[in-house]
Amino acid sequence: MELFTSLKQKVQGHGLKIVFPEATDPRILKAAQRLQQEELIEPVFLGNPEAVQQAAATAQVDLSQIQILDPNHYDQFNDMVQAFVQRRKGKNTVEQAQTMLRDPNYFGTMLVYLKQVAGMVSGAVHPTGDTVRPALQIIKVKPGLTRTSGAFIMQKGEQRYLFADCAININPSAQELAEIAVTSAHTAQLFDIQPRVALLSFSTKGSAKSEEVTKVAEATQLAQTMDPTLVLDGELQFDAAIVPTVAQQKAPQSTVAGQANVFVFPELQSGNIGYKIAQRLGGFEAIGPVLQGLNQPVSDLSRGCNTEDVYKLTLITAAQAL
């Protein structure tokens, strides 16, 4: 089944609320209206109501069925401040919390944490740090993980793969790389990918020796220990991971080589370059980044996104909330 047809079927009828801190952006407005009209989610906009209404009028978007919350005039603001201070465990004072929660990304993240909404989508205007930082401070990562990571769904026709980490961690350790591998496998399942995970390197099964290769080999062992049920292997070169004839030559004993569909890159440079090569030269649609490993879903848009990107990433966010 086509990916987004499947996601629509999963989220429809659940009445999931998704908060948008960038409610004056026309891309956000149009995508949220479409999602609301298709009865896939219930959008919640943040901002000054007059400014949002004006932006919506310019974009020809009907807000009559969409909730708008103003962080500067919110009835439960004091309760939110107290919950934030408690969550931060003394790292921020009440006065600091009052200032921070006027920021729409912090305010929206607290709505997610307090379960008043199911997830948040931001980043069309704000840089990645402004979206991710509140999520890490408030929602935090799932038990057993030390960090979040960013995956892309790569799709072309009936081909569907997952690439990670392409967005967050510059140079993960072996332990962190193992976490990314296991989390990526679980993310893949959400998108109807039965994961066969390859931890990538410029070496296949010891064909080269270096610290970089050792890190990937160690990460593979750690990941296999973390979740022995996964079909996962490394270190593998990309051709060995995806081409059966090459796999037979380079890694004949591997359960993954030649048939991998989840690719874990050894560090951010190769991951970011890799997905963009697949996108620009290979003609794959790159959907994401999907922030994985958080207790509740927060998604970070690219500032170069279009309305369709917002629509699709919001569907992904809603699916993560189920």
Tokens for 114, please give them. Answer: 């307090």
Q: For the purposes of burial, counting CB atoms within 10 Å of the CB of 158, is it exposed (0-12), middle (13-18) or buried (19 or more)?
A: exposed
Q: For the purposes of burial, counting CB atoms within 10 Å of the CB of 56, is it exposed (0-12), middle (13-18) or buried (19 or more)?
A: buried
Residue 322 CA to residue 312 CA, distance in Å, equals: 16
Tokens for 220, please give them. Answer: 């593979």
Q: Which residues contact 196 (CB under 8 A, 6 or more apart)?
A: 231, 232, 255, 256, 259, 260, 261, 262
Q: How far is CA 269 from CA 88, 150, 276, 311, in A?
A: 32, 13, 11, 28
Q: How many residues does the chain have?
A: 322
Residue pLDDT tens, the chain, 322 long: 688 998 999 999 999 999 999 999 999 999 999 999 999 999 999 999 999 999 999 999 999 999 999 999 999 999 999 999 999 998 999 999 999 999 999 999 999 999 999 999 999 998 888 999 999 999 999 998 998 999 999 999 989 999 999 989 999 999 999 999 999 999 999 888 999 999 999 999 999 999 999 999 999 999 999 999 999 999 999 999 999 999 999 999 999 999 999 999 999 999 999 999 999 999 999 888 889 999 999 999 888 889 999 999 999 999 999 9
CB 250 within 8 A of CB 235: no
CB 229 within 8 A of CB 195: no
Paired strand residues for 17: 42
Amino acid type, 21:
P
DSSP string, 246-301: HHHHH-TT-SSTT---EEE-SSHHHHHHHHHHHHHTT--EEEEEEEESBSS-EEE-
DSSP string, 139-173: I-BPTT-S--EEEEEEEETTEEEEEESSSS-SS--
Residue 275 CA to residue 185 CA, distance in Å, equals: 17
CB 67 within 8 A of CB 111: no
CB 102 within 8 A of CB 119: no
Helix or strand holding residue 44 (H, E): strand 42-46
**Phi (first) and psi of residue 50, to 5 degrees:** -65, -40
Residue appearing with tokens 């609301």: 36
Q: Is the pTM of this model over 0.85?
A: yes
Residue-level pLDDT at 159: 94
Q: Which residues contact 73 (CB under 8 A, 6 or more apart)?
A: none
CB 115 within 8 A of CB 16: no
Paired strand residues for 203: none
Residue 208 CA to residue 235 CA, distance in Å, equals: 10
Amino acid type, 187:
T
Residue 124 CA to residue 305 CA, distance in Å, equals: 7
Residue-level pLDDT at 1: 62
